[in-house]
Each structure stands twice: as C-alpha cells, then as structure tokens.
Amino acid sequence: MQSLTVKSYAKINLCLRVLNKREDGYHEIFSVMQAIDLHDELTLHQAKKGIVIQCDHPHVPKDHNNLAHQAADLLFEETNLKGGVRIDIKKQIPVSAGLGGGSSNAAFTLKGVNRLFDLKLSSQRLHALASRIGSDVPFFLYSGQAVAKGRGERIVPTELYKDYWLVLVCPNVMISTQRVYQKVKIDLTRDGSVINLNLCDNKDDFFETLRQFDNDLEKVVIGGHTVIGQIKRILESSGAIKSCMSGSGPAVYGVFERKSQAEEVAKKLTPGDWQIFLTRPIAGSSWLIQEESL
C-alpha cells in the first residue's frame, strides 16, 4: 500500500465541566463528547524520508506545530520506522473552533500511518502515543461517543442516542483556550457523577439529560464575545432542544430532532459573520467502518 485516504471527523462537547486545577498545570474535566460527520480529508503517502504536511487552509501550520506532523513524527520515532510520509489535508472543520480538528487529524494520522506501514500497533499503544500529543486526541481513537476524564485523556466509551441534527455556527472570532481556562471559575462541589448516561440510548431520556448538560467555559467566552450569546439565543428561539458552545469555542451548536427543522434554521442564520454547517452525530458502525477502511 503506497497511500490511503481517511476521513478525520470533528467532535462537539455535549457537556464540559471543569472540576479543579491539577498539580501538572492542567484542569481536571468531565466531558461528554460526540463525533459528528463534519470532517477533514487526510491522504497519506509513503515517502523515502521526512514528514511533509500539505494543506489547503492558509492558517494551518505545515511544520511541527501541526498535530498531524507531531503524530507522524512520534510514530516514526517510537517504532524506529524507516522512510517518511506526506500528509495532504483538505480542511472542512473550522480551525481553532472547539471542534477538535487538529486533534482529530493527529488521531487519524496515528491510525493511518499504523495501517499504511502495517505496524500492527495495539489500540492501547496508540492511546499512549495520542495522550502525549494532546488532551483531545485519544477520544478520536474510539467509537465516537465517550466520557472524557482527567485532562481529557481518560476515555470511557458510551452509547448515546444519535438520531438528531445539528446546526453548527462558527463565528469569525479567535479564542485562546489557555486564557479561557485561566479565567474559568471552578465550583469544587460539582463533579460528573451526578450525570447518569446509562439510559441515554433512547430519545426521550437523552433529550431530557441533554437539557441538564452545560459547558463551564461558556460564560467566560460570552463575557468577551457577545456574538456567542447572540447565536445561542437565535438557536434557542428557533426551537433548538439544546444550544451550547463546544469546547472553548467559538463554535456553537443547536440540537434539532428533524432535519427539515435544522435546514430551515440554517437558512435563517445564513446572513452574518460566521460559518454555518448542517451536520449530525456519527458513531458506532459508521465510525467502525471508517476505521476498517484505513
């Protein structure tokens, strides 16, 4: 096999709670994460030497600052693999939006290089490598639905209802994740144990639980970027079951039960300094087919 092409999916945080500041400088979190079918496309080519990143987005770094580059470099180093790889990235996931685009690229690079060079690394080995690259990277090695704990690297796969649609709105603002975490107010009485996901594989229970979810970073970001609150209000007044910011933003999503309803809202939102995406959750068999096709 000389090359392969894979889809690198985005994610949203259905819930994100910041529990405390850790001794290593990171924050302890509890997050319910859901992969969505919005994706980048990665094409990996075997090369004689080196790691080369090519991307059609001008703001994506092409050196070691790119997480896919870091992932490939780490694999070559850890396995003493000879040769090199060129990674062509076609971007569709907005950059620095709280959707995990870079982390996803890194995870699918790990899986892709593993398959391209027939390394036969176990999922546990890939997870260990992913944890060294970034907190969100391990999530993308799993089934597309999970609870993330620790700084995000402890992944507990789960099964959630996923037959709904999302209107995803990404305003044209830049957010510093580090600064957002520095400003977040931590409620030491909260944790993730009060959230029961055991019955969330059916519609009614899932939507009821979804309404209880929140994102502790949202208030911090809205305080500096009122457009986030504006988008949330538009989505909620348009009938969204839930509207929430993903990660540290600025992307905001609205949950709708029917595609037709989501399409109507997406059209309503079209005018504005933002990007609009109509997307839906992906997990289970669809996600596993993607893994098997690598």
Segments making up each domain of the chain, as ranges: 3-158+285-292, 165-279
Q: What angle do CA 62, 66, 68 make, to 5 degrees?
A: 105
Band (pLDDT 50/70/90 cuts) for residue 20 is confident
State which CATH number among 3.40.640.10, 3.20.20.70, 3.30.230.10, 3.90.1300.10 fits the domain covering 3-158+285-292: 3.30.230.10
Over the stretch 216-263, which tens digit does the pLDDT of each residue have?
Answer: 999 999 999 999 999 999 999 999 999 999 999 999 999 999 999 999
Query: CA angle, corner 186, sides to 185 and 187, nearest 5?
Result: 120
Give me the mean pLDDT over the 93-98 stretch.
Answer: 96
- Burial classification of residue 221, based on how many CB atoms lie within 10 Å of its CB (0-12 exposed, 13-18 middle, 19 or more buried): buried
Q: CA-CA distance, 249 to 266, in Å (whole number)?
A: 19
Distances in whole angstroms, Cα of residue 59 to Cα of each of 54, 89, 118: 12, 12, 32
Residue 286 has what pLDDT?
58
Q: Does the pLDDT of residue 279 top 90, yes or no? A: yes
Residue-level pLDDT at 126: 97
Active site residues: 11, 136
Counting Cβ atoms within 10 Å, is residue 211 exposed (0-12), middle (13-18) or buried (19+)?
Answer: exposed
**Which of 16, 32, 19, 1 has its CA nearest to residue 283?**
32
The model's confidence at residue 287, banded by pLDDT at 50, 70 and 90, is low
Third-level CATH fold of 165-279: Alpha-Beta Plaits (3.30.70)
The Cα 84–Cα 263 span in angstroms is 43
Single-letter code of the amino acid located at 20: N
Q: Is the pLDDT of residue 292 over 80?
A: no
Q: What's the confidence (pLDDT) of residue 272?
A: 81
pLDDT for res 26: 84
Q: What is the pLDDT, as a whole number, of residue 73? A: 97
Q: Output the pTM of the full model.
A: 0.94
Least confident of 62-71, 108-117, 185-194: 185-194
Closest alpha carbon to 42 in 98, 148, 113: 113
